[in-house]
Chain A
Amino acid sequence: MNEASELIAVKQIDNVVEELPVRDTAIAIREHIVEIVSDSGEGAQKCGQTLGILSAKMGNGVWTVEIIPAEIQPPARTPDGASGIRVRIGDSPMTNTGNDADLVVAFNEQVLRSRIGSHAYNDQTVVLLDNMWASDSDEKIRNQYADALLEFAECGLTVHELPIQEECLKVVPDPRKGKNMFVLGLLCHIYSRDTEKALAEISKIFARKSAKVVESNHALFNAGYAYAQRHIEIHYEIAAHSEPDHRMVVMNGNQAVGLGIMASGMELVAMYPITPATSASHFLADEFHSVGGFVHQAEDEIAAAGFAIGASYAGKTACTITSGPGIALKTEMIGLACMAEIPLVIIDVQRGGPSTGLPTKVEQSDLLATLFGAPGDSPKIILAAATISDCFHFVILARKLAESFRIPVFLLSDANLATGVQPFERPEVADDWFAAPIDQSPWDPKVLAYDWDEETGLSARPIPGMRGGEYVLTGLAHNRNAKIAYDATTNQVGSTMRSRKLAALADTLSPPEVHGDPEGDMLVIGWGSTLGTIEEAVDVARENGHKVSCIHLRFLSPLEPGLREICSRFKQVMTIELNYSDEIHASYINGETRRYAQLAQLLRAHTLLDIDCWSAVYGNPLQPGKISRVIIDRVIEVEGGK
């Protein structure tokens, strides 16, 4: 990725007096990772999102990851307040965040320090830094700036100072809001982006604002573009990948969830605000009415789940969207939905935990909580989206499963998918994706409310309004006739029937596809948003001569079939996850005390195989480079031990 780095020569800005020759030959590169970091509120994310959407529209592969501080207005110029975005653009579909950034634009030196702390850069990374702080009226700031520059030099980072503020001041009186569009202009020249498309995107962003606002942002963009043209010699071209046969859409995972809800025919979303799930409801608050739907903001998560369950009981499959702490509150309701067999879709956009944890950061830590959270035996279906396209399609699947199996269905997404932007094939929505209009024809009174099929546990459901179907739903142990029964067999029979539904569903699933050879030294297993990273890491390991393959699970309850058989074709199996596990070589940690990552725990029990794991909770998306090293080290360690 850094093959072109020695060709980069950013002119020392102070020396620029005359116009520099315009460099119009762009160097072709396959992909680049760009980061834009600023204080919160300076619009780095908007800038990066626009670059991403624009690039997708130009036919590039794109993957974006937002860098979100936990506070709304964290103190300015602090590492903790770093707000920004990483955009990976390439000439083929991008499936993950990638490794170290190739180019960074930082609005101040402190936010840059934060990203260095997160190991996002290396000595090849080109850093463009606003130099306004060098001449700040506050001596303390001037010193901080100077100290940081020394610190950057010490860690081998080449920083190029740019007069971003100064240049913006020539266009607008207060560039704090608007600098981001100047930077977008810079980047658009550096990466040979289509300026007309860029200007159109800017108009879209400010569509609700006055024409004057649009105009000044256009002016800032043009100024940035012209500045780069004149003063920055870095100039790249990233080819579009072959024109897809299908129309493509580009969006983030929460928008995809929202559209999935619309396309599934659900009419109601009951929610309580919680990061990083809320933006899905924001999206629906804008759009849901166009399919006749309604977003209910409840008084808390318990009420949100109760409201959705009430609507579903009355024949309208509903959905609730939340994140970890909300899942904890909804647990009793979800247990009721299991017990009383009420269809319900629960979307869990996972964040860092436990407790309030890391609200804006990614983790895959709710698997076991969703699987085992409710008291008693409470079987439910759990799906995990691996891509933004999954975020859309799995909602439709989840609604159908919830209704056919009369069961709550979890769809696990995460902070990474929620804010990441990725293009995918535009779904061709069919009306059979919609929930059927509720059936109000009379119910055959001879059919009981829980007329469980002995083999599958499935039963049809009377809906209020159906004459002859009157029954009282209860969370108490009940028989086929929905009557409370405390006798010896009733609870055993009910539990068996509810559990049987999962086995019946598992029977319809196919084994996961193996990425790589069907057998070898190591099988890596992942789930959720790490798909692209793991596959890329496995490919790197394979290129290095290691016999490594991977599978990625979409169904976590029931698990996809054939796992034991697939695993047994490999000498070693390990999961890679974004949740906590004990490292092997730590004090007190041994074979008995080691706590495994969540999927690893499940799979060990499921396959009876000694499945290893690697997992971490840094809150950052996994980088393929790091993961390939983990995999290769583990393969070598095992081989060495033999």
Chain B
Amino acid sequence: MFGLKSDWSVKANDRYFTLDDYSAAEPRWCTGCGDLAILASVHKVCRENQLLPENTVSVSGIGCSSRLPHYMKTYGFHGLHGRALPVACGVKSRRLDLDVWVATGDGDCFSIGAGHWIHALRYNMDMTVLVFDNGIYGLTKKQTSPTTPEAYQTNTHPGGAVLPPLNPLTITLGVTNISFVAQVVDWNTPLLYETIKAAHAHKGTSFVRIVQRCPVFMDVMNDELMDDPARFLLLNHEQGIPVPDGVSKMFESQADHDPNDLSAALGLANDRTKIPVGLLYRNPDAGIYNELSSQGLDFTSEDKLAGVNEALDKFLI
């Protein structure tokens, strides 16, 4: 940190990055939007880890939340609705040196991109996936999303959402080869920061569902929740997300939860009475697909020539 070396000297051409080095344009999100807090935490984690801006890539889909790359002074890829994950996997596949982040919404990830969600989790490539779950389609102005609470009135369901909401945590925890699953809310910034930091530090796909305020189109999921901390269950464990001082006492309900215990995690995810906050599951030993997809990166031109020629010669007349 601070550009100081262990002998307390400062090398003149060493680079030290401040928050400004990661923040680009003024965000265009609405006042009070939870996306602002998430962005601020991402910037802080970048600074904390002194990530090289040129080696950092944020990939997103389409939605309010997917604007995140535009507010990062790193490389970014603001692609197609629902397709952030396959693009991010492609970025990482042969560029292990890149630090890959994914910003996606509940519609982006759980609806149009649901197929990729399941499979990207299985690939478990080394990247940090943040789902901005506001329970609504924000950008397109209040349509029902997969996580919209039942009976909540939207522009596509003026009589109230007709289906019970999808549970992203149970689905995520049900995917084979899952390696990091956490849940947090945007308005508890210290915990949000710690969660994103831990997600980033994890090797493999770290999946963080962030319950996110959309003051414009969704009141049930934020106002009511914000006013009712008793609805949450804080997960404590020495291998879990470190809980900053002062945060702990915000939560009436707390539980000791071992993040190595998948069935306990599933139990918590399934509990309709409490919303778990913290690290549900971590498996540092899950296979990482980019270790396969990056095979042969060290091949020289000569190696390649030899390889092609050998393959061609098999077809010689």
Seen from chain A, the residues whose Cβ lies within 8 Å of a Cβ on chain B are 56-57, 59, 247-251, 255, 259, 262-263, 265, 267-268, 270, 287, 289-294, 296, 298-300, 302-316, 318, 332-333, 336, 423, 426-427, 429, 431, 434, 462, 464-476, 483-484
* Residue in A302, A318, A470 whose beta carbon sits within 8 Å of that of B54 in the complex: A470
Contact B90 A309 (CB under 8 A): yes
A255 to B116, CA, bound (A): 30
Contact A294 B93 (CB under 8 A): yes
Stretch from B242-250, B273-281, B288-296 contacting the other chain: B288-296
Within 8 A of A (CB), among B43-99: 52-55, 57, 59, 69-70, 72-80, 83, 85-95, 97-98
Contact B315 A255 (CB under 8 A): yes
A250 to B315, CA, bound (A): 6
Q: Looking at A267, A306, A309, A466, which has the most chain B CB atoms within 10 Å of its CB?
A: A306
Contact B77 A313 (CB under 8 A): yes
In the complex, B158 has a CB within 8 A of chain A: no
* Residue in B76, B91, B293, B306 whose beta carbon sits within 8 Å of that of A472 in the complex: B76
Contact A287 B311 (CB under 8 A): yes
A433 to B88, CA, bound (A): 28
Contact B87 A468 (CB under 8 A): no
CB-CB under 8 A from B115, the residues of chain A are 299-300, 303
Contact B317 A307 (CB under 8 A): no
Contact B293 A296 (CB under 8 A): yes
For this complex, into which size category does the number of interface residues on chain B fall? Answer: 35 or more
A463 to B11, CA, bound (A): 27
Contact B89 A310 (CB under 8 A): yes
Contact A484 B70 (CB under 8 A): yes
Q: Report the minimal beta-carbon distance from A159 to chain B, rounded to whole angstroms.
A: 35
Contact A314 B98 (CB under 8 A): yes
Contact B295 A302 (CB under 8 A): no
In the complex, B12 has a CB within 8 A of chain A: no
The closest CB in chain A to the CB of B72 belongs to A472
In the complex, B304 has a CB within 8 A of chain A: yes
Contact B69 A472 (CB under 8 A): yes
Given A294-B93, A309-B87, A465-B97, A249 contacting B317 (CB threshold 8 A):
yes
CB-CB under 8 A from B69, the residues of chain A are 472
In the complex, B312 has a CB within 8 A of chain A: yes
Contact A291 B78 (CB under 8 A): no
* Residue in B72, B88, B292 whose beta carbon sits within 8 Å of that of A294 in the complex: B292
Contact A249 B315 (CB under 8 A): yes
CB-CB under 8 A from A472, the residues of chain B are 24, 69-70, 72, 75-78
Given A426-B312, A484-B70, A475 contacting B79 (CB threshold 8 A):
yes
CB-CB under 8 A from A474, the residues of chain B are 70, 78
Given A306-B87, A470-B54, A336 contacting B74 (CB threshold 8 A):
no
Given A313-B77, A426-B316, A473-B76, A291 contacting B98 (CB threshold 8 A):
no
Q: Report the minimal beta-carbon distance from A334 to chain B, rounded to whole angstroms.
A: 11
Q: Report the minimal beta-carbon distance from B309 to chain A, rounded to whole angstroms.
A: 6
A441 to B296, CA, bound (A): 22
Contact A268 B293 (CB under 8 A): yes
In the complex, B224 has a CB within 8 A of chain A: no
In the complex, B303 has a CB within 8 A of chain A: yes
* Residue in B79, B91, B296, B305 whose beta carbon sits within 8 Å of that of A464 in the complex: B91
Q: Report the minimal beta-carbon distance from A134 to chain B, rounded to whole angstroms.
A: 41
The closest CB in chain B to the CB of A437 belongs to B301
CB-CB under 8 A from B308, the residues of chain A are 259, 262-263, 290-291, 429
The closest CB in chain B to the CB of A466 belongs to B54
* Residue in B74, B93, B97, B119 whose beta carbon sits within 8 Å of that of A268 in the complex: B93
A314 to B87, CA, bound (A): 10
Contact A313 B91 (CB under 8 A): yes
A227 to B100, CA, bound (A): 67
A304 to B116, CA, bound (A): 11
In the complex, B27 has a CB within 8 A of chain A: no
* Residue in B79, B83, B95 whose beta carbon sits within 8 Å of that of A315 in the complex: B95
Contact B312 A249 (CB under 8 A): yes
A250 to B75, CA, bound (A): 45
Contact B54 A310 (CB under 8 A): no
Contact A292 B90 (CB under 8 A): no
Interface of A is mostly: mixed
Contact A310 B301 (CB under 8 A): no
The closest CB in chain A to the CB of B71 belongs to A472
For the complex of A and B, 4 pairs with smallest distance between CB atoms: A310-B90, A292-B296, A292-B299, A306-B86
Q: Looking at A248, A267, A313, A472, which has the most chain B CB atoms within 10 Å of its CB?
A: A472
Contact B307 A290 (CB under 8 A): yes
Contact B311 A311 (CB under 8 A): no
Contact B90 A294 (CB under 8 A): no
Q: Report the minimal beta-carbon distance from A559 to chain B, rounded to whole angstroms.
A: 29
CB-CB under 8 A from B1, the residues of chain A are none
Contact A248 B304 (CB under 8 A): no
Contact A292 B293 (CB under 8 A): no
A27 to B53, CA, bound (A): 76
* Residue in A249, A262, A313 whose beta carbon sits within 8 Å of that of B316 in the complex: A249
Q: Looking at A313, A333, A476, which has the most chain B CB atoms within 10 Å of its CB?
A: A313
CB-CB under 8 A from B293, the residues of chain A are 268, 294, 296
A570 to B297, CA, bound (A): 54
CB-CB under 8 A from A466, the residues of chain B are 54
In the complex, B227 has a CB within 8 A of chain A: no
Contact B315 A251 (CB under 8 A): yes
Q: Looking at B74, B87, B90, B298, which has the most chain A CB atoms within 10 Å of its CB?
A: B90
A456 to B293, CA, bound (A): 36
A470 to B57, CA, bound (A): 9
A267 to B96, CA, bound (A): 14
CB-CB under 8 A from A287, the residues of chain B are 307, 311
Contact A465 B98 (CB under 8 A): yes
In the complex, B310 has a CB within 8 A of chain A: yes
The closest CB in chain A to the CB of B89 belongs to A307
CB-CB under 8 A from A468, the residues of chain B are 54
The closest CB in chain B to the CB of A464 belongs to B75
Given A267-B94, A268-B94, A307-B93, A336 contacting B79 (CB threshold 8 A):
yes
Q: Report the minimal beta-carbon distance from B114 to chain A, rounded to whole angstroms.
A: 11
Contact B303 A291 (CB under 8 A): yes
Contact A302 B77 (CB under 8 A): no
Q: Looking at B25, B74, B312, which has the most chain A CB atoms within 10 Å of its CB?
A: B312
A484 to B78, CA, bound (A): 10
The closest CB in chain B to the CB of A244 belongs to B317
* Residue in B75, B85, B92, B94 whose beta carbon sits within 8 Å of that of A471 in the complex: B75
A270 to B310, CA, bound (A): 23
Contact A332 B78 (CB under 8 A): no
Contact A464 B95 (CB under 8 A): yes
The closest CB in chain A to the CB of B54 belongs to A467
CB-CB under 8 A from A300, the residues of chain B are 115
Contact B317 A310 (CB under 8 A): no
A431 to B307, CA, bound (A): 12
The closest CB in chain B to the CB of A310 belongs to B90
Given A57-B317, A267-B94, A427-B312, A307 contacting B307 (CB threshold 8 A):
no
CB-CB under 8 A from B74, the residues of chain A are 470
Given A307-B93, A468-B54, A473-B77, A313 contacting B317 (CB threshold 8 A):
no
